[in-house]
Copies of this chain bind each other. A is one copy, B any other.
Amino acid sequence: MTSSVLPVAPTRGRLRPLGLDEVRITGGFWARRRHTNTTATLDHCRDWMDRVGWTGNFRAAVEGRIHRDRRGREFADSEVYKLLEAMAWEAANGGGAPLDAEISALTELVAPAQEPDGYLSTAFGRPGQPARYSDLEEGHELYCQGHLVQAGVAQARARGEGELAKIAQRAADHVCATFGPGGIEAVCGHPQIESALVELARLTGRRRYLDQAALFVDRRGHGTLAEGEFGRAYFQDDLPVRRATVLRGHAVRALYLAAGAVDVAVETGDDDLLAAVVRQWEATTARRTYLTGGMGSHHRDESFGADFVLPPDRAYSETCAGVASVMLGWRLLLATGEPRFADLVERTLFNVVATSPSEDGRSFFYANTLHRRHRGVVPPADVDSPRADSGLRAPWFAVSCCPTNVARTLAQLPAYLATADDEGVQLHQYADADIATSLTGGRGVALRVRTDYPSGGSVTVRIGRSPAGPWTLSLRVPQWAAGAMASLVDPDGVHRPVAPGTATVTRVFRPGDEIRLELPVAPRWIRAEPRIDAVRGTVAVQRGPLVYCAESVDLPDGHEVDAIRVDTSVDPEDGPGATDASAGTVVVAGEVAVPTGDGDAAWPYEALGHPAPRPADPTGIVLVPYHSWANRGPSTMRVWLPTAEENRPEEPDTGTGTDTDTGIGTGR
């Protein structure tokens, strides 16, 4: 392995990840997002955690007043650790000394709260608090310590061994001693510790952590957790991981568990376990995923719904489930090399992870609905907001897992762009980037990627340095390009059509050689499979990997998005600013009218009539990238747009008369 600055560092697998010291994002969509992350979001998270007392919990624990003074939910500690993780990766990305100082300060706050045996929680175990591990279902103690371990690993990899890594390892040792063979035979209600322990095993080479992670994965699904209000599937404790056929229950829990199971499978060479997770990913992608890549539709328990239950207006699609899906997809990509995993990672990054933060990086969507029917109210700037409301981004939540999760994902994003193997280099995600790594045998390779993706579809890879012999440059051709023409231009200027999957160029490269991938990003109508009942009779628009939406601020005054009917006989076209990935528009043909004439029927169901004609004089309706919605004040929004071909009511039968002369009348 040439780099150690790796968010995920498997010792086996089809592809070798590149580190944050090997890939630098230099411009474009993600560079802007990352700039906002470092300059605004990290500070924002720290300020809020100080304000709401979550950082203060550690001090209160040390000072013996935690039973009285603790603030936040049982998992508040984890937000501090996730922020530490984000800071560590950003420090490696160029954040440097100022972030190191922040990390040190936070570490000094956390350290004294660790108990002599390594246990660390501000919510359990001290006088006046519930006993350690007395509420495995909802206590989140292993979850929190897992995030601590993850932060320690990040600190060690990004900045070299330090105090945080030591705290993390002590906590991991405590977990292994307590839950290992002969210890408590149970699991945490919220998976997370699994992947953290594997990463610590990778960092330290200590098998103990891997064994403990494997034990947690194998233990789950045997009903060790009490069946709560939502049933055991909520914690994935209904079925062993190897026997499950689809992700179910709480979406973030399910995805974290799957990611941890891949980590265990890869390190232990457990192909059956890996195959089980791939099967679950396949079924989940085919039947339980929104067009945006979002996962988890139920508000009640933040869970996956049944197959094909994907209502846009009740989409939960939690930001953290998007983050977790990216984690899982990345691990599966490294393990298998299959581009379908990178396809979903791309979709989820652009349409879930990028949707959550506001343009200024200081407010967030917790849930990412695909249809907002009434305008939201501006969330308060100084108190936390309800998590499930999706009208406008809010600065903070009582359950505020999403802001720090977005922050740590953006911080490690450069590592998701490319990999290497014995044959060469693979590009999975497209952004302006400089990449420098070594192929087998220390053969140095340097690439410069330049693109206006996702606004434009042209990706140019310029060879900066190349070893003497032939090697292979692989480029992912996204599945969204199916049905349109993608092409690859080799250094000799020869164009070749390429189909979705992986396009490769194998040759002797020279410095200055350019390879160009041309992807068909023109906007296109998208339909859903008929069993997704909630969007029957509607279409969506995608342009490259970006899902688009209609937002009321772009409609004539006083109209809301539910008045839109689109005419799919006319293809969508680029609109004003189409080449701006942050705000580029698409225009579709349609009409904007109050759907049922003047006001409401008293009863919204009636006998079937005849289809209405297409609108005689369609107008242009402007759509914007979904990730950009709700940045212009309260609005209504929808991704899935009804088509104009609808059944309309029959003319009312007015042939019934009254005849009061005979004493028979009708009245109301």
Where the two chains meet, the residues of A that have a C-beta atom closer than 8 Å to any C-beta of B are 231, 282-283, 285-287, 289, 291, 298-300, 305-309, 311-314, 338-340, 371, 373-374, 386, 388, 477, 479, 482-486, 488, 490, 494, 496-507, 524-540, 562, 568, 595-596, 600-609, 640, 642-643, 645-647, 649-650, 652-653, 655-659, 662-668
Q: Are A497 and B314 within 8 A (Cβ)?
A: no
Chain B residue at minimal CB-CB distance from A606: B527
A618 to chain B minimum Cβ distance, whole angstroms, is: 16
The 10 nearest A-B residue pairs measured at CB: A537-B537, A536-B537, A501-B668, A525-B608, A529-B604, A499-B656, A300-B300, A286-B600, A496-B664, A299-B300
- In angstroms, Cα B282 to Cα A601, docked, is 10
Q: Which residues of B contact A291 (CB under 8 A)?
A: 605
- In angstroms, Cα B289 to Cα A604, docked, is 8
> Assembly of this chain: how many copies?
2
Using A527-B606, A605-B540 as known contacts, say yes or no to A483 and B650 having CB atoms under 8 A apart. yes
Known pairs A340-B668, A537-B537 / 6 extra A-B pairs, C-beta < 8 Å = A307-B373, A312-B533, A482-B607, A527-B649, A531-B596, A568-B647
A571 to chain B minimum Cβ distance, whole angstroms, is: 9
A-B contact pairs, 11 of them (CB 8 A): A285-B602, A289-B604, A483-B607, A485-B655, A498-B664, A499-B658, A504-B663, A504-B667, A530-B642, A533-B534, A539-B608
* Most chain B Cβ neighbours within 10 Å, of A305, A307, A485, A666: A666
Contact with A595, one of B231, B497, B530 (Cβ below 8 angstroms)? B530
A499 to chain B minimum Cβ distance, whole angstroms, is: 4
Q: Which residues of B contact A650 (CB under 8 A)?
A: 483
Using A528-B604, A605-B291, A647-B527 as known contacts, say yes or no to A477 and B666 having CB atoms under 8 A apart. yes
Contact with A652, one of B482, B539, B608, B655 (Cβ below 8 angstroms)? B482
- In angstroms, Cα B607 to Cα A529, docked, is 11
Q: Are A505 and B663 within 8 A (Cβ)?
A: yes
- In angstroms, Cα B530 to Cα A562, docked, is 9
Q: Which residues of B contact A658 (CB under 8 A)?
A: 498-499
Using A386-B231, A596-B531, A603-B286 as known contacts, say yes or no to A526 and B659 having CB atoms under 8 A apart. no
